[in-house]
Amino acid sequence: MDALAAEETKMYFYENRLKTFSGWPFDEDCMCTPENMAKAGFTHTPSENSPDIAMCFFCLKELEGWEPEDDPEKEHKSHSSSCHFINLKKKVEDLTVEEFFKLQKERHKFIINKSCNDTITKFEEAAKLKRADIIKTAMGEE
- Cβ-Cβ contacts under 8 Å for 46 (sequence gap 6 or more): 23, 52, 53
Cα separations in angstroms, 42 against 54, 59, 110, 122 = 6, 10, 15, 26
Instruction: Compute CA distances 7 → 2, 20, 39, 51, 63, whole Å.
Output: 9, 14, 19, 24, 23
Quote the pLDDT of residue 1: 45
81, 108, 114 from 88: Cα distances, Å: 12, 16, 21
Tell me the residue range of the domain where 45 lies. 3-138
Decide if 58 contacts 41 (C-beta within 8 A): yes
Contact in structure between 52 and 46 (CB atoms under 8 Å): yes
Count how many domains the chain has: 1
Q: Is there a contact between 41 and 83 (Cβ–Cβ < 8 Å)?
A: yes
Written as tens digits, the pLDDT of the chain (142 aa) is 455 566 778 999 999 999 999 989 888 889 999 999 999 999 999 988 888 999 999 999 999 999 999 999 999 999 999 999 999 999 899 999 999 999 999 999 999 999 999 999 999 999 999 999 999 898 877 5
Q: What is the CATH number of the domain that holds 95?
A: 1.10.1170.10
Please, are residues 86 and 56 in contact by the beta-carbon 8 Å criterion? yes
